[in-house]
Structure 1
């Protein structure tokens, strides 16, 4: 193993509380939306791409209106996350520091452009990562984005760490082992490694 590629939500941090605040600020501006989103709503859709999330949360709206709302929510989300941050799981920075001394570290997340940058901006952990990717920049699936990071950084034997079945499938697409962050948001039956907490990554040190 020469590198570790991480999912973000449910793997490194839980940003739902901040995101809910940001989204509900935006939703008040739309007469078509008569509800607030909750942390449980976000848990159901974490790890999905933007169009899938909007279809689940706002099925009554047109595709065009869902897109408009998601773009607005994404912009507000990025701004609030850069200012307020999210909740890092226990030991994240210490373990990232130690891992980065032995392995190349990366992030591939199903998020909008600017989201990972907001994570970096507040929590000041960019120094531990070499590269990142997301569909907001590329329009590609998570599996294809993992392969893109592998290719441009010439990785030979990475693993992917994530918390959902979608993460496991993305690992299969990329042809690399999958470490299941079982403390996160999803339920996964098939994996190569299982992490009960972020600190379990110490086994790779």
Structure 2
């Protein structure tokens, strides 16, 4: 693997879904539960369907999956979905990707670590509760906090923590685009839910590779 990225960054900002864990199976369970409260949802929510929208903002997710609903219906369903999502994930969690703690332990000894995700408020905290890995990170930001684009949240973390040379690690084209807009180099995780063909500074096929790359 190319080791030219060693000592080039002072910090690492991670995406969450598709990068650190996969919670899609239990998110599908949660949204199916939410569906029971309304009579206007046609779809069954499956892990495969969840994969197609992972990385989008919460607002964009339901606009994409449920375009036939009124804005009021989408907002009502989103309220139920977000409630069940946090409750079920808090109990059942998601699947942590192999080598995660080993990578975080190594990286946190050399870099400041952060998370920026397009998730709802409370979701990153659930990840921390389930994984027990909060102590490896020095901060986080999500779409649910200010309802602003991921690029803006990356910039907020960079500014708030006075980061000089950060790198963003994610798994979708949306992650790459956000990093690019924020002026932050991008490392692509090809084991996640998306595809990025070019423009990244490196590609990894497992979190354990970060120890050699960085």
Q: Is it true that 1:77 corresponds to 2:85 in the alignment?
A: yes
Alignment check: 8 A CA contact 2:26 2:92 kept? yes
Question: Offset of 1:73 from its aligned partner?
Answer: 0.7
Question: Offset of 1:84 from its aligned partner?
Answer: 0.9
Name 1:61's counterpart in structure 2.
69
Q: 1:137 aligns with which of 142, 145, 168?
A: 145
Write the deviation string for residues 21-47 of structure 1: whole angstroms up to 9, x where unpaired.
111011011111133111111111011
Q: Is it true that 1:199 corresponds to 2:208 in the alignment?
A: yes
Question: Offset of 1:179 from its aligned partner?
Answer: 0.1
Name 1:26's counterpart in structure 2.
34
C-alpha distance in 2, partners of 1:21/1:167?
A: 25
Aligned length: 205
Q: 2:96 aligns with which of 85, 88, 111?
A: 88
Name 1:183's counterpart in structure 2.
191
C-alpha distance in 2, partners of 1:11/1:56?
A: 22
TM-align CA RMSD: 1.0
C-alpha distance in 1, partners of 2:119/2:203?
A: 24
Stretches of structure 2 lacking an aligned partner (at least 5 in a row): 1-8
Question: Offset of 1:140 from its aligned partner?
Answer: 1.0
Alignment check: 8 A CA contact 2:102 2:208 kept? no
Question: Offset of 1:195 from its aligned partner?
Answer: 0.7
Three-state SS of the structure 1 residue aligned to 2:168 is: strand
Three-state SS of the structure 2 residue aligned to 1:186 is: coil
Name 1:162's counterpart in structure 2.
170
Alignment check: 8 A CA contact 2:89 2:126 kept? yes
C-alpha distance in 1, partners of 2:125/2:79?
A: 16
Alignment check: 8 A CA contact 1:79 1:118 kept? no
Q: Is it true that 1:173 corresponds to 2:181 in the alignment?
A: yes
Give the alignment of 1:8-47 within 5 angstroms. 8-47=16-55
TM-score, normalising length: structure 1: 0.97
Name 2:117's counterpart in structure 1.
109
Q: 1:125 aligns with which of 126, 130, 133?
A: 133
The list of structure 1 runs, each at least 4 consecutive aligned residues, that deviate by more than 6 angstroms after superposition, is: none
